[in-house]
Structure 1
Amino acid sequence: MEVVQEDKLKTLSYSGVFLSCFSDFSEKCIHATPEHVLVYLYSGEQIIEDRNNKIKLKAGDCAFIRRDHRLKMYKNSKGEELYKGISLTFNRTVLRDFYSKMNKSEIPKEIKISDKTVFKLELNPAIQSLFQSLIPYFDSNVKPTEGIIQLKVLEGIYTLLNSNELLYPILFDFAEPWKIDLLEFLNDNYMEDLTMEQIASFTGRSLATFKRDFKKISNLTPQKWLIKKRLETAYIKLKEEGQKVQDVYAEVGFKNASHFSTAFKKQYGISPTEVQN
């Protein structure tokens, strides 16, 4: 379980799948998730700005947000009600597995892919049941088991499919299905000693295609992205977990302490030892 506390904003993230948060002030953020998200508003108010469209969610409302789109979100308290939202994230691996087990004859035919980014869903018993079953975890901060999380994600997929047929081609749009998602692979393997050629191969790409695809997701080169990610992890291990420099640098993927120290000071302006102390 990951808990992030900043002033009066609190976020609880369970395995990156079940997310809940609340705030007693207005919070503006830029939403740019690489995965589809189903959002349920428990209390307060949420305003989503998508280009020239503005979608307002109040307590009890639910919306589906498709992946790879940038949106502005405003999470507001309403009167004495704090903002509280619960969301489920659906990654492509789970969706591919779900799709592979579906009876394809049950899939609606000739549904065109909508260009909408946000779908506000009509409240129905399936949506109510799904999120009402998650609220006790939200209120008590008791961590749900991995099994419960997996079941809730599957329930969320069924709920979406039963709520709007337009979501079939969106959920199961696996463009370039032979390619592994770059960010997912890198986030899982950034501490490993892999060459760019190996990363390209493991994600089903030529080196040239890997570099081209990477430019779509980051302004950094792959090498700089890996170093930045490793240093961020190292900072947490030193600052928050109290680990020692000699234990951290190799664990996060650096081959020697000198290179690690130089890169760390360049990014953070202080040495790893200073952070540790």
Structure 2
Amino acid sequence: METSKTINYSGTFLSCFFDNNTSCVHATKDHTLVYLYSGKLIIEERNKETIVHPGECVFIRRNHRVKMTKLYSDTDQYKGISMTFKRNFLRDFYSEIDKNHIPKKVKSLKESIFRIPLRPDITSLFQSLIPYFDSAVQPTDHIINLKEQEGVYCLLNTDNNFFPVLFDFSEPWKIDILDFLNENYMDDLTMEEIAAYTGRSLATFKRDFARVSDITPQKWLITKRLEVAYDKLKNQNKKASEVYVDVGFKNLSHFYAAFKKQYGFSPRR
């Protein structure tokens, strides 16, 4: 029986969950607009929680990681559409608009998650996408591009402060690699993702990491996870089956093998 479905059209995609809830860490490399049709969406960033109900829409800034929990109800499946705005698309959009219409002296929004007020233009935009997901007719790239342009205009009409957010093409600031890894060692991230979140290309990340550690990033992560697991097992009386997922291992057998290789004895001890 089908329990979930995701359909992706050039960065605009529908997510459906029929009879199961799901929770995951979502990496927003690009600005993302999320509209909820049914069910319930909980977005967590550090200690802040944003709850999205059907008919509501939220904007998530690029280069942020959030935990998204998608819930179905007794009567409705979870169903939501996400629209991403890639940097190249925004550059092209910016090059075409009349710069005289750009408001002066506006401050960039500080929030990484911004709730969009309920407005007819937002509702109309996402309702117009439904037929493409409910049928076998695939929209052309031109159609998706027009819908994304409509999404940008919806944001700009919502708040002038979106201008400096959407059209900021400066490179992200580099952040301390070890600070980032110590905070996020338990997450399932590729080296490319870690590089991007610390404001670097993969090559620059590897070069910078070699300056602060004499082991590879992969080895550093495994060592860090095992050290935290060791502390939990020894000082918190936890069981291996209780800690291996918390520290970032995908399965128990891999955790046992890595632990024994590093410490010379089984985590059962």
* 1:95 match: secondary structure: helix
> Which of 203, 207, 229 is the aligned partner of 1:211?
203
CA distance 1:18–1:106, shift in 2 (3 Å): same
Q: Distance in 1 between matches of 2:103 and 2:89?
A: 20
Alignment of 1:1-277 (within 5 A): 8-15=3-10, 17-24=11-18, 25-176=20-171, 211-212=203-204
Residue identity matched to 1:56: I
CA distance 1:130–1:209, shift in 2 (3 Å): closer
CA distance 1:66–1:147, shift in 2 (3 Å): same
TM-score by length of 2: 0.63
Which whole-Å deviations, capped at 9, do the CAs of 1:204-241 have from their partners, x for residues lacking one? Answer: xxxx987325779xx57xxxxxxxxxxxxxxxxxxxxx
Structure 1 residue 129 displacement after superposition: 1.1
Q: Distance in 2 between matches of 1:142 and 1:115?
A: 39
- Structure 1: give runs of 5+ residues left out of the alignment: 1-5, 178-207, 221-277
Q: Distance in 1 between matches of 2:38 and 2:159?
A: 24
* 2:157 match: secondary structure: helix
Cα RMSD of the aligned pairs, angstroms, is: 2.3
- Structure 2: give runs of 5+ residues left out of the alignment: 173-199, 209-216, 219-269
Q: How many residues align?
A: 182
Q: Distance in 1 between matches of 2:135 and 2:109?
A: 38
CA distance 1:28–1:94, shift in 2 (3 Å): same
Moved over 6 A (4+): none
Q: Distance in 2 between matches of 1:47 and 1:148?
A: 30
Q: Distance in 1 between matches of 2:6 and 2:97?
A: 34
Q: Distance in 1 between matches of 2:207 and 2:62?
A: 18
Residue identity matched to 2:59: F
